[in-house]
Structure formats: C-alpha cells, structure tokens
A = this chain, B = another copy of it.
C-alpha cells in the first residue's frame, strides 16, 4: 500500500456538505478497489480539492474517483510523510 495525494480542479463553490457527500461516495466503493480515503481539503474559491488516500496503485485511486463521479486531475504517490 502506498499513500497518494490527488488533486481536483474546477470544484468552485463546493460546500462542506458537498465535500462530505463526495468523500462518502468514495468511501462507499473504495473497498472494491482496495483503497482507503483518509482526508480531503477543499477551497471553494479556487475550486481545488486535495484528497489523501492509501491504495495499491494510483490507478485504483483514480478508478474510485471516476466511479464516484468526480475524476481527479492530478495524482502523486507521497511515500514520505511527517
């Protein structure tokens, strides 16, 4: 398992409830891809959302986001953390 940070653009105006709903939609299906979404942070003004996950591959993370209806624009493994 590797930790990943993915980034969504274009989520301008996202609300706290919408962020929570999107996170729950990911979590409902993440087990099917062996992914676990840990945290997400959003800026309604710029429309950027950052998601932190643990997963077997970047492709698995992207598949969950795709299937949940909010594809990610960027993804990077982040094997180091403090």
Contacts and interface: CB of A to CB of B under 8 A. Distances in A.
Chain A interface residue number, banded: 20 to 34
Query: How many copies of this protein are present in the complex?
Result: 2
B52 A41 contact: yes
Interface stretch (A28-36, A61-69, A73-81): A73-81
A79 B42 CA distance: 6
A40 interface: yes
Contact of A41 (B23, B40, B80): B80
A60 interface: no
Interface of A: 3, 5, 14-16, 19-20, 23, 39-46, 48, 50, 52, 76-82
21 contacts: A3-B41, A14-B80, A15-B80, A16-B80, A19-B81, A19-B82, A39-B81, A40-B81, A41-B80, A41-B81, A42-B78, A43-B76, A43-B77, A43-B78, A43-B80, A44-B79, A44-B80, A45-B77, A48-B76, A50-B50, A50-B78
